[in-house]
Amino acid sequence: MERRPVLEARGLRKAFKDLVAVKDVSFSIAEGETYGLLGPNGAGKTTTISMAIGLLERDAGEVLVDGREIRTTSTTAKAAIGYVPQDIAIYPDLTARENLTFFGSLYGMTGKALGERVDEVLETIGLKERAKDRSGEFSGGMKRRLNIGIGLLHRPRLLMLDEPTVGVDPQSRNAILESVERLSAAGMAVLYTTHYMEEAERLCDRVAIIDQGEIKAEGTRAELVSLVGERDKVRLAASGQLAAALPVLRVVAGVEEATVGEESIELLVAGADRALAPILAAAAGAGISVHSVDVDEPNLEAVFLHLTGKALRE
């Protein structure tokens, strides 16, 4: 059964004077789905998310959350959304508890229910022991966690995270990714923007490759990878008569191409997991000694390169 969409964005467009930042962007996110916007800095991710949450007025298009239109002037419809901005957005003069309580109150939470939820979130983000400390005294990682905690506080149907791991140490980064995985598993719809290919691959059920304000391709990881062909690159570091072994290797099932490199043989293989054993057997039969094997599976980085002609971090 198809899951109900929580967010539907259709034909979003935004220009800043002559610069068109977002061009005809459409996507939808279902309950429990994590949707990634993957692209380099300046690709239009933040502009897209800003229109989706109603921070920025769009020039064209439509955004629906739970069937309700989101505009900059919307109020009740925004209650379904949790927002985690790219930059840390907390009040340094207030304690962690005060920050959470204030933002919770803006979402209509009050009294005991608010207090209990604040305790719960403090526990989730690992700041229970520091609840009464001013957030300005926190480390960068702790501030990041509080930044995310504020977005989660009112149990939103849809959580929007705008590059939440930028400038975060590896430990905190991993904690953030684990939190997102848990939330998604609990049924929350998540919109996650990033320029880290690894994060998109790890978290997202579906990914949109975005560049220069346009979605170049969208789909599951496998669907996107199929755009560049599902061929793994296998590299055999070997010695012996390497050129003589090529005809033998080329006839192994799955091998599409074989070339000699520097003290190595490089193969393009459809399904390296299945073809690897026959390849090694054929190499041994051809009289060459294989010292090590490297297998590179195609990834979103390769997809991005294929679609845009440039690397993600350019």
The two three-digit tokens of residue 303, written as one number? 């997809």
d(CA 134, CA 202) in angstroms, rounded, equals 33
Q: Is 103 in the site for other proteins (CB under 8 A)?
A: yes
Contact letters for other proteins, residues 194-233 (x by CB under 8 A): ----------------------------------------
The smaller minimum CB distance to other proteins, of residues 108 and 285, is found at: 108
We find the least distance from the C-beta atom of residue 183 to other proteins, in angstroms, to be 17
The residue within the footprint of other proteins, chosen from 48, 50, 172, 308 (CB under 8 A), is: 50
The HSE-up count of residue 117 (CA atoms within 13 Å, CB side) is: 23
We find the least distance from the C-beta atom of residue 221 to other proteins, in angstroms, to be 29
Question: Which residues, including other chains, have CB under 8 Å from residue 161's CB and lie 6 or more apart?
Answer: 84, 148, 151, 180, 190, 191, 192, 193
We find the least distance from the C-beta atom of residue 96 to other proteins, in angstroms, to be 14
Candidate ranges 24-32, 93-101, 114-122, 214-222; the one touching other proteins (CB under 8 A): 93-101
The smaller minimum CB distance to other proteins, of residues 75 and 292, is found at: 75
The residue within the footprint of other proteins, chosen from 1, 17, 18, 87 (CB under 8 A), is: 87
Q: C-alpha angle 64/196/228, rounded to 5°?
A: 90
The two three-digit tokens of residue 206, written as one number? 């579906």
Q: Is 90 in the site for other proteins (CB under 8 A)?
A: yes
We find the least distance from the C-beta atom of residue 160 to other proteins, in angstroms, to be 8
Furthest-apart CA pair in the chain: how many Å? 79
Helix, strand, or coil (residue 69): strand
Contact letters for other proteins, residues 122-161 (x by CB under 8 A): ----------------------------x-----------
Q: Are 110 and 118 in contact (CB under 8 A)?
A: no
The smaller minimum CB distance to other proteins, of residues 77 and 268, is found at: 77
Helix, strand, or coil (residue 161): strand
Residues in 66-85 at the binding interface with other proteins, rule: CB under 8 A? 72-79, 81, 83, 85
- Please tell me the count of residues contacting other proteins according to CB under 8 A: 32
The HSE-up count of residue 51 (CA atoms within 13 Å, CB side) is: 27
Q: Is 192 in the site for other proteins (CB under 8 A)?
A: no
d(CA 216, CA 233) in angstroms, rounded, equals 25
Strand partners, 219: 207
d(CA 63, CA 212) in angstroms, rounded, equals 20
What residues make contact with other proteins under the rule CB under 8 A? 50, 53-56, 72-79, 81, 83, 85, 87-94, 98, 102-103, 105-108, 150
